[in-house]
Amino acid sequence: MQIAENAVVAIDYTLRNDEGEILDSSEGAQPLAYLHGAANIIPGLEQALAGKCAGDALDVSIEPEDAYGEYSVELVATLNRSMFEGVDELQPGMQFHASAPDGGMQVVTIRDVDGDQVTVDGNHPLAGQRLNFQVKVVSVRAATEEELAHGHAHGEGGHHH
């Protein structure tokens, strides 16, 4: 079966940046399973996998616009410490859910704390980076009705979240 919309695909992958550092990998873990066509993975990787079959392997570089987007300085803000009510100690790297400009929720990461000034960044940590994947397609199957209704792949034995 070829990878197409509404297929559940399992892949083994290694993700590297342009310097060759490994950023993520399924090595030593279960393959990543996703529902093709449901925006479960970045668009560039989903496009590169379309039409592939179990056993196929590929190396693909995904530009930022087809991954996590360009880095946006508009998503960096300096807030007063009082905005973090109930949190005693703020440190760089901490993440919080915040209201996004479109009314939804977004994750922001603390970049710096200077007295009462806290700099947060709403960009994805990989925004602005070219992503280099080594991928092997482990399996491809038709999605179940439940997976289609939920918009994502389920593990062996059904729904587990």
Quote the tokens at residue 45: 């990787």
Q: Where are the domains of the chain?
A: 7-68+127-150, 73-121
Residue 56 reports pLDDT greater than 50: yes
- pLDDT tens digits for 8-17? 999 999 999 9
DSSP letter at 37?
Answer: T
Q: Which two tokens stand for residue 113?
A: 């704390």
Is the CATH number of domain 73-121 3.30.70.100?
A: no
Dig out the tokens for 85 from the structure: 């009510």
Protein fold of 7-68+127-150: Chitinase A; domain 3 (3.10.50)
User: Count of residues for the chain?
Assistant: 161
pLDDT in tens, 69-126: 999 999 999 999 999 988 989 999 999 998 877 788 889 999 999 999 999 999 999 9
